[in-house]
Structure 1
Amino acid sequence: MAKAVHLGAWFLLGCIASSFVAWLGALHPALFRVMWVVYIMSTAALGVALVTDDAVRQFFKLSEHDYYALLIAIAAAIFLGGMLSWLIGG
Structure 2
Amino acid sequence: MPIHKKGWKKDLGNSKPVRLTLVSGKSMEQNILSALTQHKQNNKRIRPSQCGFGKGKSCLTNLTSFYDKMVHSGDEGKAVDVSL
TM-score scaled by length of structure 2: 0.31
TM-score scaled by length of structure 1: 0.29
Larger radius of gyration: 2
**Bigger strand fraction:** 2
**Bigger helix fraction:** 1
Tell me: higher relative CO, structure 1 or 2? Use CA pairs within 8 A at least 6 residues apart. Answer: 1
